[in-house]
């Protein structure tokens, strides 16, 4: 373990100079490694021995030159680590080497001294550390320096060697050996940097191939989502394509039930007939939220990956799940992944896959399959939207039909109501003249007229609701008024309070300014509908609280009751036209739908807060007058 840590330290902090992966391009990183290896190796295996050699020979100028060059090389590495400019550092490093060699050859005898062979290392360093252009530049510099050392003696400039005569033969051998070592170090550093770059390139290619596979998975999911006509169809097609692309052995889809548990959907894909035993187990299996790989995927909302190794228990009392894991291993399954499918922020389904090999790169795989789950969820959202659009089109047709029918009914019913009122008035005068006759029979006639009038009024009320529902426009804004919601709410209460039984308590509480611009008759109708619904909800005994107020840039009016409350499924359909929980003959199912449209046409909304057994609160929110 300590050896591995040492290797990592050398590779990361010394060879790579502590530069994090991805901070430089692959070529610049290769160049950085060659600079660091070459600088450290030359200073260690050539520079230090040369310092000792020239100290022994008593040549202080060369000793100082070497120490200065070695110090400059180390500072160059520090600058490279800090500024991350490998190309600049390469030129600086070759310049230090060239300058040191020029000084060295000046002191040791010039062109014809064996030390001059060191100068030929300069173009090699330029080629290894830089590129073709660098090699050409430093080759030209080396040729220029060589020519200068060759021709300057002809102009009277002599280069006299400061090496003692007796030590020159040994120093020549030393120069040749160190020069060969330097060339070898440069070659090894170049090869080492190149091979690491090749390994990184191979790893990058492998990552690219894996990423290509992930892109294919996303494409398959997108194609399945676009081509499918139903949510289940998209799930089935996507599961099949994923298993084929990933070479996975099986896939199984679990759907969430009303009690929250996840059970089999009957959608199973396998490519191995020998997995029939596991299919039977999967069809019987149910997962509670947070239990098992499927339950965890549903509760945590992210893909779950497990290896089946070391998960098998032996013995007569092992669970059915562990028996299934053991059977799966016998069939060649080594890993499993559960993928949640999101629809409107919830997880109605989980896809379970079986792999014949352990799953690598789990983090990336999980992120890709999270996107796939989201894509498939959008199919359900799109299907629901299409269903709502179809329902909306149907309701539009129903509204048009209802408007025509209401118009046709309204006219004759108006005649009937007028005639019945006239008959009721004439009957009253006739009854006063028939006093003493068959009073019981006459009373029956009077009751029949009253019942007919009540039926006509009820019919006209229904027709009015239907006409209001079919009219989706907004009242002319010229007819809008500035008025307080508290005034409209109290007015609506006076109209319908007679419908409340003696055991029903009606209370009002108005706080702050509730003024807004609106069509008063329409808003009053909304309040009438809400109060009537509250009265019917509490029955013969209960409490209804009416209140108004202001909340920032909005004003609100609330109608709260302590009735039985509303369950979630009913709340989702409250504003659907013709939906009602009332008995036949009590409601048309249009009151809340009409109220919702009125609120929307006024730039507001109706919000419902309710739970079973805790009453209900209907809140109308509208823009304030001075918002």
Q: How far apart are CA 506 and CA 543, in angstroms?
A: 6
- Identify which of 129-133, 389-393, 443-447, 591-595 has the greatest average pLDDT: 129-133
- Per this entry, what is the length of the chain? 627
- Residue 324: the pLDDT is 59
Angle at the Cα of 61 from the Cα atoms of 57 and 65, rounded to 5 degrees: 110
Q: Which residue has the higher pLDDT, 212 or 535?
A: 535
Q: How far apart are CA 419 and CA 276, in angstroms?
A: 78
Q: How far apart are CA 306 and CA 333, in angstroms?
A: 11
- Residue 5: the pLDDT is 79
State phi, psi for 23 to the nearest 5 degrees.
-75, -30
State phi, psi for 549 to the nearest 5 degrees.
180, -170
- Identify which of 153-157, 305-309, 424-428 has the greatest average pLDDT: 153-157
Q: Which residue has the higher pLDDT, 271 or 348?
A: 348
Per-residue confidence at 222, pLDDT binned at 50, 70, 90?
low
Mean predicted confidence (pLDDT) in 401-406? 62
What does the mean pLDDT of the chain come to? 77
- Residue 472: the pLDDT is 47
Q: What is the CATH number that goes with domain 230-360?
A: 3.30.450.40
- Residue 598: the pLDDT is 85
For residue 25, what are the contacts with CB-CB under 8 A and spacing of at least 6? none
Side-chain half-sphere of 461: how many Cα atoms within 13 Å?
15
- Residue 400: the pLDDT is 60
How far, in Å, are 50, 60, 162 from residue 54 at the CA level?
6, 7, 10
The Cβ of residue 618 has, within 10 Å, a number of other Cβ atoms equal to 25
In the predicted structure, residue 38 carries a pLDDT above the cut 70: yes
- Residue 277: the pLDDT is 61
In the predicted structure, residue 135 carries a pLDDT above the cut 50: yes
61's tokens: 């100028």
Q: Which residue has the higher pLDDT, 485 or 5?
A: 485
Cβ distance 340 to 330 under 8 Å?
A: no
304's tokens: 């779950």
pLDDT digits (tens, 9 = 90+) for 231-245: 777 777 777 777 777
Per-residue confidence at 314, pLDDT binned at 50, 70, 90?
very low
- Residue 392: the pLDDT is 56
Q: Which residue has the higher pLDDT, 120 or 448?
A: 120
- Residue 78: the pLDDT is 92
Checking DSSP bridges between strand 346-355 and strand 250-256, what pairing results, if any?
A: antiparallel
Per-residue confidence at 267, pLDDT binned at 50, 70, 90?
low
Mean predicted confidence (pLDDT) in 408-419? 69
pLDDT digits (tens, 9 = 90+) for 98-116: 998 898 888 888 888 878 8
Cβ distance 238 to 221 under 8 Å?
A: yes
- Residue 474: the pLDDT is 47
For 236-244, the CB contacts below 8 A with 24+ separation are: 236/267, 236/269, 238/351, 238/372, 238/376, 239/267, 239/269, 239/351, 239/353, 240/269, 242/217, 242/353, 242/372, 243/269, 243/271, 243/353
Q: Which residue has the higher pLDDT, 538 or 625?
A: 538
pLDDT digits (tens, 9 = 90+) for 43-98: 888 888 888 888 888 888 888 998 999 999 999 999 999 998 999 999 999 999 89
Asked if 230-360 and 477-623 have one fold, the answer is no
User: How far from each other are the two terminal CA atoms of the chain, in whole angstroms?
Assistant: 69
Mean predicted confidence (pLDDT) in 159-178? 81
- The residue ranges of every structural domain in the chain are 2-204, 230-360, 394-470, 477-623
Q: Which residues are paired to 609 by β-bridges?
A: 617
For residue 438, what are the contacts with CB-CB under 8 A and spacing of at least 6? none
For the domain made up of 477-623, give the CATH fold.
Answer: Heat Shock Protein 90 (3.30.565)
Cβ distance 142 to 120 under 8 Å?
A: yes
Q: How far apart are CA 612 and CA 619, in angstroms?
A: 18
């Amino acid at each position: 373990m300590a050896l591995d840590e040492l290797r990592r330290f050398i590779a990361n902090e010394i060879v790579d100079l502590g530069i994090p992966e991805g901070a430089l391009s692959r070529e610049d990183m290769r160049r950085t490694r060659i600079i660091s290896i070459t600088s450290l190796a030359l200073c260690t295996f050539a520079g230090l021995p040369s310092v000792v050699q020239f100290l022994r020979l008593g040549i202080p100028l060369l000793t100082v030159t070497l120490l200065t060059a070695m110090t400059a090389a180390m500072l160059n590495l520090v600058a490279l680590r800090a500024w991350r400019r490998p190309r600049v550092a390469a030129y600086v490093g070759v310049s230090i080497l060239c300058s040191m060699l020029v000084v060295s050859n000046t002191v040791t005898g010039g062109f014809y001294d064996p030390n001059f062979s060191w100068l030929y290392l300069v173009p090699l360093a330029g080629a290894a550390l830089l590129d073709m252009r660098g090699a050409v530049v430093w080759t030209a510099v080396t040729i220029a320096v060589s020519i200068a050392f060759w021709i300057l003696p002809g102009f009277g400039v002599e280069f006299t060697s400061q090496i003692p005569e007796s030590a020159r033969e040994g120093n020549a051998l030393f120069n040749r050996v160190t020069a060969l070592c330097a060339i070898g170090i440069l070659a090894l550093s170049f090869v080492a940097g190149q091979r690491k770059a090749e390994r990184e390139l191979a790893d990058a290619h492998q990552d690219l191939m894996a990423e290509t596979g992930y892109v294919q998975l996303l494409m398959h999911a997108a194609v399945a989502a676009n081509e499918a006509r139903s949510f289940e169809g998209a799930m089935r097609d996507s599961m099949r394509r994923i298993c084929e692309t990933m070479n996975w052995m099986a896939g199984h889809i679990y759907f969430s039930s009303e009690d929250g548990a996840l059970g089999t959907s009957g959608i199973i894909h396998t490519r191995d007939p020998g997995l029939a035993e596991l299919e039977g187990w999967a069809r019987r299996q149910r997962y509670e939220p947070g239990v098992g790989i499927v339950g965890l995927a549903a509760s945590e909302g992210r893909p779950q990956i497990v290896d089946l190794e070391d998960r098998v228990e032996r013995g007569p009392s092992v669970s059915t799940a562990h028996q299934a894991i053991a059977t799966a291993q016998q069939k060649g399954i080594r890993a499993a992944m559960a993928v949640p499918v999101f629809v409107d922020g919830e997880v109605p389904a989980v896809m379970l896959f079986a792999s014949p090999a352990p799953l690598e790169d789990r983090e990336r795989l999980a992120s890709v399959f999270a996107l796939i789950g989201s894509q498939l969820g959008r199919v359900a959202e799109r299907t629901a939207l299409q269903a709502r659009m179809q329902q909306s089109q149907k309701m539009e047709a129903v509204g048009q039909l209802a408007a025509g029918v209401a118009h046709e009914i309204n006219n004759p019913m108006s005649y009937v109501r007028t005639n019945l009122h006239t008959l009721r008035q004439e009957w009253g005068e006739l009854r006063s003249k028939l006093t003493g006759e068959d009073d019981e029979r006459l009373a029956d006639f009077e009751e029949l007229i009253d019942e007919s009038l009540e039926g006509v009024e009820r019919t006209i009320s229904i027709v009015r609701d239907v006409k209001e529902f079919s009219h989706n426009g907004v009242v002319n804004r010229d007819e809008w008024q500035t008025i307080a919601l508290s005034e409209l709410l109290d007015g609506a209460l006076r109209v319908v309070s007679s419908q409340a039984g003696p055991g029903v308590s009606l209370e009002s509480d108005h706080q702050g300014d509730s003024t807004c611009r609106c069509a008063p008759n329409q808003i009053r109708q909304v309040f009438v509908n809400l109060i009537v619904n509250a009265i019917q909800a509490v029955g013969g005994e209960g409490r209804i609280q009416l209140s108004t107020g202001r909340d920032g840039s909005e004003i609100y009016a609330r109608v709260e009751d302590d009735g039985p409350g509303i369950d979630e499924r009913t709340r989702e359909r409250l504003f659907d036209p013709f939906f009602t929980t009332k008995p036949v003959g009590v409601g048309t199912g249009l009151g809340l739908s009409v109220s919702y449209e009125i609120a929307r046409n006024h730039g507001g909304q109706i919000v419902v807060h309710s739970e079973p057994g805790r009453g209900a609160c209907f809140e109308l929110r509208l823009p304030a007058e001075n918002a």
